[in-house]
């Protein structure tokens, strides 16, 4: 069984690495016996070259929500520079498991997520990092549309903590214009840090603010699903012949 190499972005904020470590423990708890290693693109140790050399067989799983620059360029380039030809799993989103994790965090913040009536009165801001890649932002908007369709929220607006586009106060105002009686902000981010703190500070007018996705069981299940998909694809890919 190949190891699962979790590749995270990294951050100067120590809460980021602590969250990744907690997520790794949740993955190990769900799949005992599977070797799980962690490498970072930036800021944290160990970096990718420090890890891939000691793994005889592994599948790289990016801890990323969208296929933006890190997924398309940074991770493949870092693996190539390390002399690695490991199979690389797809990014995490979109997935119903991410919507379930968002539900979990809203419920933990005090929203009656299980009540259709409460959902119909509530408008939610899906607060993402934002990207210079239009396809990545389009993917986030598609997640917001699917979340509204499947849960029956009064409305779901997307806001970004960086890049261009609507900010959290703009999205909250749009929700109230759309008739939402209650408002909630759900960070579509994986770990604490600068951007989640920026979102929380901008959400002071919301009725409640959820936590980041963090080491949720749904996220661990999704990581394992992406790992399984990639290793099965690698097993069935015909070998190249001379």
pLDDT of the chain, 242 residues: tens digit per residue: 999 999 999 999 999 999 999 999 999 999 999 999 999 999 999 999 999 989 989 999 999 999 888 899 899 999 999 999 999 999 999 999 999 999 999 999 999 999 999 999 999 999 999 988 899 999 999 999 999 999 999 999 999 998 678 999 999 999 999 999 999 999 999 999 999 999 999 999 999 999 999 999 999 999 999 999 999 998 876 544 33
Residues 104 and 177 in one domain: yes
Q: Which residue range is the domain that position 44 belongs to?
A: 3-92+216-236
Residues 200 and 101 in one domain: yes
Residue for token pair 């699903």: 225
Residues 101 and 11 in one domain: no
Domain count, the chain: 2
Q: Is residue 100 part of a domain?
A: yes
Cβ pair 44, 10 in contact under 8 A: yes
Residues 102 and 70 in one domain: no
| 185: exposed, middle or buried (Cβ count in 10 Å: 0-12, 13-18, 19+) | buried
Residues 139 and 197 in one domain: yes
Residues 139 and 205 in one domain: yes
Residues 54 and 141 in one domain: no
Q: Is residue 42 part of a domain?
A: yes
Give the domain CATH number at 52: 3.40.50.1400
- Is this prediction's pTM over 0.85? yes
Residues 154 and 174 in one domain: yes
Residues 39 and 127 in one domain: no
| Cα–Cα distances in angstroms (integers) from residue 189 to residues 92, 95, 186, 211, 236, in the given order | 12, 14, 9, 9, 33
| pLDDT score of 43 | 92
Q: Is residue 241 part of a domain?
A: no
């Amino acid at each position: 069984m190949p190891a699962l190499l979790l590749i995270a972005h990294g951050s100067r904020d120590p809460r980021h690495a602590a969250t990744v470590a907690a997520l790794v423990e949740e993955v190990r708890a769900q799949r005992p016996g599977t070797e799980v290693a962690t490498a970072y693109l930036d800021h944290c140790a160990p970096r990718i070259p420090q890890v891939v050399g000691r793994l005889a067989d592994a599948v790289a799983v990016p801890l990323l929500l969208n296929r933006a620059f890190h997924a398309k360029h940074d991770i493949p380039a870092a693996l190539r520079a390390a002399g690695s030809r490991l199979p690389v799993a797809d990014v995490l989103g979109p997935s119903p498991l991410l919507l379930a994790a968002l539900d979990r965090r809203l419920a933990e913040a005090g929203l009656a997520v299980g009540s259709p009536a409460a959902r119909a009165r509530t408008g939610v801001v899906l607060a993402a990092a934002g990207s210079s890649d239009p396809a990545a932002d389009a993917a986030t908007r598609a997640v917001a549309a699917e979340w509204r369709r499947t849960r029956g929220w009064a409305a779901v607006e997307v806001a970004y903590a960086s890049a261009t586009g609507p900010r959290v106060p703009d999205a909250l105002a749009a929700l109230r214009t759309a008739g939402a009686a209650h408002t909630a902000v759900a960070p579509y981010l994986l770990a604490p840090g600068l951007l989640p703190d920026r979102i929380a500070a901008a959400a002071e007018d919301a009725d409640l603010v959820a936590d980041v996705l963090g080491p949720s069981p749904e996220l661990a299940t999704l990581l394992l699903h992406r790992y399984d998909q990639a290793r099965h694809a690698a097993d069935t890919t015909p070998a190249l012949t001379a």
